[in-house]
Structure 1
Amino acid sequence: MPQELCHMALRQTLDLIGLTDETLKDLTRRKFSSDELYREVLGKLLGGNGRRGPSGILIANEGPGAVCCNGRVFHLRHGELLERSDQITIEPGSTYASNLLMVEGGSEAVALNWTDSCATVEEFQTFFHPQVVAAMGEPILNFVSCRISGDVRGVIEAFNYAGHVTEYDADVLRSAAVMIGSLVTVSNGMRETEHAFHYAIQALARACEAAEPDTGHHILRVNRYAGALAANMGYNTEFVEDMSMSAQMHDVGKIRIPTEILLKEGRLTPREMKLVRQHPAYGSEIIGDSPRLRIAREIAISHHENWDGTGYPKRLKGERIPLSGRIVKVADVYDALRSRRSYKGAMTHQETLDVFRNGDDRINPAAHFDPAVLAAFFRIEHMFEMIYDSSVPKLGLDRAVNAAKLK
């Protein structure tokens, strides 16, 4: 193989190594689906922009019972990855190129040029599924096939390398197949771990709400409000996702407040109020120092701070209050006003909007809320109403309406 082609194959392999490294670093944040990962890999394998590579690639996954593979053909055109076929079903024995890999004990990788095994190019086309040949839009002159192992089993076939296909090309494609199988398997495992992590967080958040009415619904609504505010304010997907999961932890410190205080009707005594105001610090202590829970810890300790510095527990002012806490403060106050508690009735959406505009005996919007977060709230207040109404049990909603009418 000429040295230049060797260097091209090396660059492709390094690209794949780089993608592997980036993916592993980000797996706890980004859970690749098979299709997403395939697109990442194919963009680095297909020819173009000085890369040696095939002009088309088929990726096919085994179907139920491993009786067939379902896949699509992709091309790279002007830097864009294009699907060039509808789903193609490849049954055992219907294509020589795939069958070499799919049969029990078949080769891990196969590389062939038409001149290696056929008298004519036309004869070579019979090695492939007719829909694959049609999707290529040109005669297939060579190919490399590799088996994909792991959770998502199947084959990857690359067609029409410039000149003759070589063992170097087979090595690159084999690396891609191994990477796909390994990373999808790891990502699937991480997804299950992430699901368990979220469930544990939800269980802890629900535990601290158990003593109060509307169990569980309040924390889920605050999650959704906070995520909607963060998204509307233009923050990135990572922050929006963190807010949508972490906001439910805002009152986790209440688990250390006696139930009789939490459910007390009427105003609290100064001693009781002092104890209740410890729940942000308790929450921060309970959540701890895990990097995964940094946003949750920020929210727990800061969601009762006021923009003008009159809040608690640290009397932080302005932008010294973590952004996450400023967002959850608006979300929490809205839901608290809408919800019935042992010491108060529920407000309608319109009554709550009036408090956010003009204040009441406890809330001063200009002094208590970050102006940017408050502006975002008014832009999407209709979404808050929809979130609240869609998650309140019918009985609870009836009670809220009746309570509002009696005010």
Structure 2
Amino acid sequence: MSDNLCEMSLQQTLSLLHLTDLALRDICCKRFTRDTLYQEVLGKVLGGKGRRGPASIFLVFQDASGVLQPGRVFHMKDGSLVERSDEIALDPLSGYAVNLLEAQSQEEVVLVNWADSYESIEDFQSYFHPAVKNFISSPIINFIICRISGEVPGAIVAINYPGKATTYDAEVLKSMAVVIGSLQTISDEVQETEKAFRYTIEALARACEAAEEDTGKHIQRVNRYAGALAANMGLPNDFVETVSFSAQMHDVGKIKIPASILLKNGPLDDAETALIRMHPVYGRQILGDSPRLQVARDIAISHHENWDGSGYPNRLAGENIPLAGRIVKLADVYDALRSNRSYKTPLTHQATLSIFRNGDERINPEKHFDPVLLGVFFKIEHIFDKIYESFNVNPAN
């Protein structure tokens, strides 16, 4: 193999190692899906834009009983985008499935160029699943199979290297198999940790709502409203996901407020009002210093700040108020107006819209809400109504 091809193979391997390093560096906050993981890794190895690599990759995994699951073919589109096939099911008794399972049982990779074992390229095609051939569309001239180890074993089939598939290509593929196996195992473990983390946060949020009416429904709705607002502002997906989960922590500080004040049937006196206005501060204290809870802390401390600086606890104004806090403020006010409380009856969606347009004795939309957010709200107000009704047992008349 030429020095140039060796150099390209080395660069691909280094690229994979760099990707692994980046993933491990922020693994605690990166909630990648398997599809995202595959596409990031495959994009480093597939040929295109001067890179040496296979034209296509078939990726397949086994279930706990050892049966091959449906796989997918990935390849480059327009030299950069990873395109994938529909799922391709494998008959466990077919020669193709048997060959894959046999390859997985070997420690080393299996490398085959058509001229090594077949008299013609046409005869060579019989080795491959019809759906794989259809998606690739061009004749298959070579392939390398490599086992993926880990808790969920599988196999990579790299297809159609330029010229001949080589042992150097096989080494790069083995590196990719290690990367996928390692990151997939770590990703699965992180997902389990994430589930436990979310369950704990949700339990805390429910505990904070337990003293009030409409237990649990309010925080679910506010999550959904906040997610809808963030998504329709065109914000990054990670931020939308974080806000739509963290919004439920907006009133976590109320756990330190006596139920007799939270449920008081009538106006609060000055001392009670001052105590209620401490719940954003308590919320920030409860949420601590974890980087994972930064957005939740922003929401807890700032969701009662007003655009004109007249809110509490810090009288922040304009864009000095964290964006997540501005989003949840609007969501929280909408739900409060729609909901039944000990001191008020629920409003209809139309009555709530009227207050968001014209204000009332407590709410001044122009002074209290981010004007951009308010504009987005009016564009999607029907979504808010649907969210409220989907979680509400006793809608307003």
State if a TM-score over 0.5 links the two structures.
Answer: yes
Who is 1:260 aligned against? 260
Judging changes above 3 Å, is the alpha-carbon distance between structure 1 residues 210 and 138 closer, same or farther for their aligned structure 2 residues?
closer
Equivalent residue for 1:405?
none
In 1: Cα distance, 2:290 partner to 2:315 partner = 25
State whether residues 72 and 85 of structure 1, in contact with CA within 8 Å, keep that contact through their aligned partners in structure 2.
yes
Q: Which amino acid aligns with 1:335?
A: D
Q: Residue 68 of structure 1 contacts residue 92 of structure 1 at CA under 8 Å; is this kept in 2?
A: no
- For structure 1, the 5+ residue unaligned runs are 402-407
Other-structure match for 2:34: 34
RMSD over aligned CA atoms reads 2.3
Question: What TM-score, normalized to structure 2?
Answer: 0.91
Report the Cα distance in structure 1 between the residues aligned to 2:383 and 2:127, rounded to whole angstroms.
Answer: 56
Q: Partner of 2:100 in structure 1?
A: 98
Structure-to-structure mapping, 1:7-406, within 5 angstroms: 7-63=7-63, 65-79=65-79, 80-83=81-84, 87-89=88-90, 91=92, 94-95=95-96, 97-103=99-105, 106-118=106-118, 121=121, 124-129=124-129, 132-133=132-133, 135-393=135-393, 396-397=394-395, 400-401=396-397
Q: 2:300·2:325 contact (CA, 8 Å) conserved in 1?
A: yes
Structure whose alpha-carbon radius of gyration is higher: 1
User: Contact 2:338–2:348 (CA<8 Å) still a contact in 1?
Assistant: yes
Q: Could you give the per-residue CA deviations for residues 159-217 of structure 1, whole angstroms, max 9, x where no partner exists?
A: 23233322211110011111111111111111111111111111111111111100011
Q: Shift of residue 31 of structure 1?
A: 3.3
Read off the aligned partner of 2:366 and give its amino acid letter. Answer: A
Indicate how the Cα distance of structure 1 residues 65 and 384 shifts in structure 2: closer, same or farther if over 3 A, else same: same
CA contact (8 A) 1:250 1:300 kept: yes
Q: 1:46 to 1:389 in 2, by over 3 A?
A: same
1:73/1:267 Cα in 2 relative to 1: closer, same or farther (>3 Å)? closer
The separation in 2 between residues aligned to 1:131 and 1:387, in whole angstroms, is 42
Separation of aligned partners in 1, 2:206 and 2:55? 54
State the shift of 1:246 in Å: 1.2
Q: In the alignment, is the contact (CA less than 8 A) between 2:223 and 2:246 conserved in 1?
A: yes
- Check conservation: 1:69, 1:154, Cα contact below 8 A: no
Distance 1:320 1:61 in 2: 49
- Structure 2 unaligned regions, length at least 5: none
Distance, in Å, in 2 between the alignment partners of 1:85 and 1:301 is: 46
* Cα separation, partners in 2 of 1:7 and 1:382, compared to 1, 3 Å: same
The residue type paired with residue 11 of structure 1 is Q
- 8 Å CA contact 1:92–1:99 kept in 2: the answer is no
The secondary structure found in structure 2 opposite 1:195 is: helix
* Aligned positions, number: 395
Instruction: State the alpha-carbon separation in 1 of the partners of residues 122 and 89 from structure 2.
Output: 21
Change (3 A) 1:267 1:62: same
Tell which deviates more after alignment, 361-370 or 61-70.
Answer: 61-70
CA contact (8 A) 1:284 1:300 kept: yes
In the alignment, residue 90 of structure 2 is paired with which amino acid? Answer: T
Distance in 2 of aligned mates of 1:306 and 1:255: 23
Distance 1:14 1:288, change over 3 A: same
Decide whether the 8 Å contact of 1:63 with 1:70 is kept in 2. Answer: no
User: Is the 1:84–1:136 contact (alpha carbons within 8 Å) kept by the matching residues of 2?
Assistant: no
Q: Deviations over 1:282-327 (max 9, x none)?
A: 1111111111111111111111122222221122222222222222
Question: 3-state DSSP class of the match of 1:89?
Answer: coil
- Alignment partners' CA distance in 2, 1:198 and 1:290: 14
CA separation of 1:43 and 1:210: change in aligned 2, threshold 3 A:
same
1:309/1:77 Cα in 2 relative to 1: closer, same or farther (>3 Å)?
closer
1:357 maps to a residue whose letter is R
Task: Measure the CA separation in 2 of the matches of 1:300 and 1:255.
Answer: 12
Verify the 8 A CA contact 1:69 1:91 in the aligned structure 2: no
Aligned counterparts of 2:272 and 2:36: Cα–Cα separation in 1: 53
Q: 1:361-391 CA distances to partner (integer Å, 9 max, x unpaired)?
A: 2112222222222222212111111111110
Deviation at 1:237, TM superposition (A): 1.3
Whether the aligned pair in 1 keeps the contact of 2:88 and 2:132 (CA below 8 Å) is no
Cα distance in 1 for residues equivalent to 2:336 and 2:131 = 60
Q: Structure 2: how far apart are the matches of 1:225 and 1:69?
A: 38
